[in-house]
Amino acid sequence: MLLEEFDPARNAVIEPEMVAKKIDGFPEVTVSCFSKSLFDSVLRVFDAKKIGELHFAFGRNPVYEVVYKGQRFALFQSCVGEPTCAAQYEDLIAMGSKRLILLGNCGVLDRSIEDCGVIIPTAALRDEGTSYHYRPPSDSLEVNHKYRELFKEVLRECGYLWVEGVTWTTDAPYRETREKIARRKAQGAICVEMECAGMQALCDFRNTEFFQFLYAGDNLDHTDWEPRSLSGETRLDDKTKIMFLAFELGLKIMDTL
């Protein structure tokens, strides 16, 4: 099978360094999210300085430097969907990014998880394709293996509750059938998203650091789909506060460097 022919070769015909230029003094920690509404809300807080650009068929995606509590961070908006999200971050690594904190919305497979509740993935079910190009085939992989406990410190200090567990990474959101949802729940999944498995596999392959946390959106654990706060504008103030948890984690990470 095609997805079983993992090639561990370190060099490919096209390498990110061929299309992305190194940026001197790139910040130690990069923060990103998927929602444009959320990204714009957070960007407005800062006196941001543009330090680079990502180039894709749909246009240019700026990379900013921002200062939070005296520390420099890189900030950019990630593309939704694993293939583009991973390719985008490959370019960021070539530019100089060493570690990424990524957050995004997810669907919940457990109705007890509250809307906008914080979720820490511990493993990802690999129901996608990108991760299979960065590590040998398996049904799942461990995620967030470095900064999980440090992020829990942030949540406790900031007064947030959280749940942790397996996430289901899929690249076909309109094929989340009732049967598949039942199977993924039987495998331990509590939520579903589109990037986590591939992003962890990529960062492991490139020997860069990665942490992703999620905030709960729509509910799939119901007879009828419940969109809840899936829309980017819904509960935007709450989501903005959640995103600043990424910067708080970044401060703790920099304290360990």
Query: Looking at residue 251, which CATH number applies to its domain?
Result: 3.40.50.1580
Residue 208 has pLDDT above 90, yes or no: yes
Q: What is the mean pLDDT of the chain?
A: 97
In this structure, is residue 105 part of a structural domain? Answer: yes
In this structure, is residue 214 part of a structural domain? Answer: yes
In this structure, is residue 10 part of a structural domain? Answer: no
In this structure, is residue 173 part of a structural domain? Answer: yes
3-state secondary structure of 65: strand
What does the DSSP assignment read for 71-110?
A: EEEEEEEPPSSHHHHHHHHHHHHHHT--EEEEEEEEEESS
Longest CA–CA span in the chain (Å) reads 53
3-state secondary structure of 233: coil
Distance CA 80, CA 33 (A): 9
In this structure, is residue 69 part of a structural domain? Answer: yes
Looking at residue 46, its pLDDT comes to 98
Looking at residue 3, its pLDDT comes to 83
78 to 13, 86, 219, 220, 256: CA distances (angstroms): 25, 9, 23, 24, 26
Residue 16 has pLDDT above 90, yes or no: yes
Range of the domain at 50: 18-256
Distance CA 93, CA 105 (A): 24
Looking at residue 21, its pLDDT comes to 94
- Of the pLDDT bands very low, low, confident and very high (cuts 50, 70, 90), residue 1 is confident
Instruction: For residue 107, give the nearest of 228, 247, 217, 229 by alpha carbon.
Output: 217
In this structure, is residue 6 part of a structural domain? Answer: no
Looking at residue 57, its pLDDT comes to 84
* Overall pTM > 0.85: yes
Looking at residue 59, its pLDDT comes to 87
63-105 pLDDT tens trace: 999 999 999 999 999 999 999 999 999 999 999 999 999 999 9
Task: Quote the number of domains for the chain.
Answer: 1
Q: Which residues pair with 64 in a beta bridge?
A: 50, 75
98-135 pLDDT tens trace: 999 999 999 999 999 999 999 999 999 999 999 999 99
- Of the pLDDT bands very low, low, confident and very high (cuts 50, 70, 90), residue 231 is very high
